Structure 1
Amino acid sequence: MKSLKLPIATFLLLVSAAALAGPVNINTATAEQIATELKGVGDSKAQAIVAYRSEHGAFRSADDLVMVKGIGEKTVAANRENILIGEKGK
């Protein structure tokens, strides 16, 4: 039974961290903020988002994220409710 405690605890920690993901403005957030708030986006993908934004300008919609290498439609769909654009998130 002891051998199951660590995997179960790890799973619960990961699930609770994913549940805590929150809104993030992809046009103003740092790579660290993006990686923290968006599910399936780690440090390297978050840095790619910031680099793309710096080179090409602000994103006009959440769907524009698919233009960033490593970000696909599934990632956008999983995070759509937490992806903000502009001052009021639109």
Structure 2
Amino acid sequence: MGTADLKVIFGKGQKHELIVSTHQMCALMLFNNVDNLSYKEIEQAIEIPASDLKRCLQSMACVKGKNILGKKQNRERGPRFLLLHPSLSVSL
């Protein structure tokens, strides 16, 4: 698995460059068009093994510090992931 350099713009025009795994890049690029996605939607879109996808999403949503993604649990539909920075723009 490789890495990717992503150029992101947070909130008030703060530009940053993130070095992320290929799986993280694929997941983050999905959020360019929508504010939140279910685990199933992400799984269907990027088609990677479930263990890799869980690790990828946890690394962006479930760590101390500044998270990129937030997680909401819904008993009927399962977890949903949302951008914590609604105006985040991601490009390669």
TM range, normalised to the smaller chain?
0.3 to 0.5
Q: Rg bigger for which structure?
A: 1
TM-score (normalizing by structure 2): 0.32
TM-score (normalizing by structure 1): 0.32
Structure 1 or 2: more strand by fraction? 2
